[in-house]
Amino acid sequence: MKVPNIKLEDGHEVPQIGLGLWLVKDRAEFDTSFNAGVEAGYRHFDSAQAYDNEPFLGEDLKKSGLKREEVFITTKIKIENFGYDQAAQSIDESLAKLQTDHLDLLLLHFPLAGSLKETWRAAEDAKVVDLTE
């Protein structure tokens, strides 16, 4: 089954349903969840720096044989990484762990405190895909 997409105003698409990876920290459990998700048609994977499983997702995506343009990757900057320099460094680390050159969606995890403006600016500066094309 293919999960339907939602078309955004800029023409990009987001799969309507994503596989949330919260609390999946055991490698075997992660692999089982990921493989079942792919088999079920999931192409949107929702991770976060705080979940400590971005490397699992990066490795499993590579092993899956799915092309990068076939998947939608979301991750989140954890509160401890708020602030410009910390956020910028953590985004680079997430990209390396996820084994990708770009993220499809980057969120601020629990943006209730911290240097929100500076963290947001780091996220904007990290944008490598021009959504206006």
**Residue 88, pLDDT score:** 92
Q: Does residue 132 lie in a domain region? A: no
Please report whether residue 58 resides in a domain. yes
Report yes or no on 133 lying in a domain. Answer: no
User: Does 131 map to a domain?
Assistant: no
What CATH number corresponds to the domain at position 56?
A: 3.20.20.100
**84-86-91 Cα angle (round to 5):** 95
> Average pLDDT, stretch 100-113?
84
Predicted pLDDT of residue 133: 46
More confident residue, 99 or 1: 99
Catalytic residue (one of 45, 51, 56, 82): 51
List pLDDT tens digits, range 12-30: 889 988 999 998 889 999 9
- Can you give the pTM of this predicted structure? 0.84
Residue 36: its H or E element = helix 27-40
Across the strands, what pairs with 6? 14
132 pLDDT above the threshold of 80: no
Domain of 57 in residue numbering reads as: 5-126
pLDDT digits (tens, 9 = 90+) for 18-69: 999 998 889 999 999 999 999 999 999 999 999 999 999 999 999 999 999 9
What is the end-to-end Cα distance of the chain in Å, rounded? 30
109 part of a folded domain: yes
pLDDT for residue 111: 66
pLDDT of 129 > 80? The answer is no
Is 42 in the active site? no
Half-sphere exposure of 34 (CA within 13 A, CB side): 27
Q: CA-to-CA distance for 126 and 119, rounded, in angstroms?
A: 11
Residue 101 lies in a domain: yes
| Contact assessment for residue 114 and residue 82, using Cβ atoms and an 8 Å cutoff | yes
Q: What is the per-residue DSSP string for 7-31?
A: E-TTS-EEESS-EE-TT--SHHHHH
What is the total count of domains within the chain? 1
